[in-house]
Amino acid sequence: MSPRNSTELLNSKMGRRSFLKMGALTSVGAVAVCSASEPIVKATPQQLKEAYPGSKKVKTICTHCSVGCGIIAEVKDGVWVRQEVAQEHPVSLGGHCCKGADLIDKVRSTNRLRYPTVKKDGVWERIGWDEALDSVSAQIQALQKKYGPDSIMMLGSAKVSNEQSYYIRKFAAFMGTNNIDHQARI
């Protein structure tokens, strides 16, 4: 059976909601792999009952792309501590992709970049924002001086809004180039 026929068969036997739920289960598997560096411990009966006493659940949406899947963010003392799938969300219907499945990692990951760093003699060092911006702008200017304005390009993102896209476009024009694209197209 060709892949095309397989897809047609799948679509004929599986509704959108079921398919999205299957996607959510697949995402959970991906999360387990992504979080392999964190120890997995057995929850206590109290944790199973109420892991974060006094927390509140906030309905929000994933910001990783313009689909806008539903996320339930559990917040305790102003800190996002856990997330759940928003089963009744009108867009995602209880499913989301692997990016949204671990959206919380965006804020709690130990790999999160919290400040500018630069590699000096093979070692990453923290630097200030002024130094970072001066360094980047100096390198852009040097490139454009040597190779012309089209030696640089700007990439958008699935995470930026219409307004941010507008600013990126304006900034590219300001820099004298039409080299602009969306990261998803590459």
Instruction: Assess 24 for contact with ligand SF4 (CB under 6 A).
Output: no
69 forms part of the interface with ligand SF4 (CB under 6 A)? yes
| Least distance CB 163 / ligand SF4 (angstroms) | 18
Q: Give the interface size with ligand SF4 as a residue count (CB under 6 A).
A: 11
Q: Which residue, 31 or 175, has its beta carbon nearer to ligand SF4?
A: 31
The answer to the question of residue 89 lying near ligand SF4 (CB under 6 A) is no
Contact 71, 83 (CB under 8 A): yes
Contact residue for ligand SF4 among 9, 14, 28, 67 (CB under 6 A): 67
Q: Does 97 sit near ligand SF4 (CB under 6 A)?
A: yes
**Is residue 85 a contact point for ligand SF4 (CB under 6 A)?**
no
CA 17 to chain centre: 23
> Using CB under 6 A as the criterion, which residues of the chain lie in contact with ligand SF4 when the complex forms?
62, 64-65, 67-69, 92, 96-97, 99-100
